[in-house]
């Protein structure tokens, strides 16, 4: 995909934000794999913006839940937050904003429309939040999160079934073993634009599950699901 082919104005209109520095928005949509195939583009990938946006998102969601549900204990609020910021929710929000149409990916990544794309979209929306924060400030980032993510909060919480595999395994491990599980990268393989990751999940020193994925997050989720099954905690 060529940068000149992308007009971000339609995205800005749908997202409800106009960038003073459009290069930040371009960076938010630029995946590392694209840079590896287009080194002459002089573009930066979106991982630093994703790191920043993740922190902004977590603070905004935490503040929202703390005020919205004053009688809920910390454990329930943590579960709600996990459901609102996990890859499934964020990728759905990204799809609602047609963010897939603007992604700058390698040829290989462009062909993959499965769970790996879901994680890419989730990471990209975090990068967009980071870009909004840098360009427009905290209030604009909070407004974006409220309009596009937190508007689903009440319905999701009322519907239940909020816990992803990683959160569910942590809850069960703490309940049954009194230990918070840890995750370790066992290996990665493939070129930078098409990596695969294998992650182990441990209770203490015991490895109880192993998972693979096109991102570390996906591998951790798969490892947690296998650990739940191995322990009989489903």
Nearest to 85 by CA among 197, 162, 194: 162
Q: Give the rounded distance of the alpha carbon of 13 from its chain centre.
A: 23
Per the CB < 8 A criterion, the answer to whether 133 and 141 are in contact is yes
Angle at 126 between CA 123 and CA 131, to 5 degrees: 125
Mark whether 194 is an active-site residue.
Answer: no
Q: What angle do CA 85, 176, 61 make, to 5 degrees?
A: 15
Cα dihedral angle (120, 125, 127, 133), rounded to 10 degrees?
180
Active site residue 126: yes
| 93 CB neighbour count, 10 Å cutoff | 19
Residue of 37, 54, 171, 194 marked catalytic: 54
Residue 104 DSSP SS3:
strand
CA 168 – CA 161 distance, rounded (Å)? 11
Which pair of tokens denotes residue 73? 């204990």
CA–CA distances in Å: residue 84 to residues 52, 79, 122, 141, 164:
17, 9, 11, 16, 11
Catalytic residue among 50, 126, 135, 218: 126
Sheet containing 182-189: which strands, arranged edge to edge? 182-189, 196-203, 206-213
What's the CA gap between 119 and 81, in Å, rounded?
17
Q: Which residues are catalytic?
A: 54, 126
């Amino acid at each position: 995909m060529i940068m000149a082919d992308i007009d971000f104005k339609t995205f800005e209109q749908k997202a409800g934000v106009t960038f003073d520095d459009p290069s930040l928005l371009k960076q938010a949509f630029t995946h590392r794999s694209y840079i590896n195939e287009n080194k002459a583009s002089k573009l930066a990938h979106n991982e630093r913006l994703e790191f920043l946006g993740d922190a902004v998102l977590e603070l905004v969601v935490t503040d929202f839940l703390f005020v919205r549900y004053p009688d809920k204990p910390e454990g329930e609020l943590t579960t709600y937050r996990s459901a609102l910021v996990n890859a499934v929710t964020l990728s759905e929000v990204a799809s609602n904003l047609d963010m897939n149409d603007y992604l700058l990916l390698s040829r290989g990544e462009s062909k993959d429309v499965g769970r790996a794309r879901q994680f890419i979209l989730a990471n990209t929306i975090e990068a967009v939040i980071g870009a909004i924060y840098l360009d427009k400030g905290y209030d604009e980032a909070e407004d974006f999160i409220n309009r596009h993510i937190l508007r689903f909060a009440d319905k999701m919480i009322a519907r239940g079934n909020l816990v992803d595999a990683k959160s569910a395994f942590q809850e069960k491990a703490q309940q049954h073993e009194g230990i918070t599980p840890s995750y370790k990268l066992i290996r990665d393989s493939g070129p930078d634009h098409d990596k695969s990751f294998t992650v182990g999940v441990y209770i203490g020193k015991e490895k109880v599950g192993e998972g693979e994925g096109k991102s570390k997050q996906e591998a951790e989720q798969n490892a947690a699901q296998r650990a739940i099954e191995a322990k009989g905690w489903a």
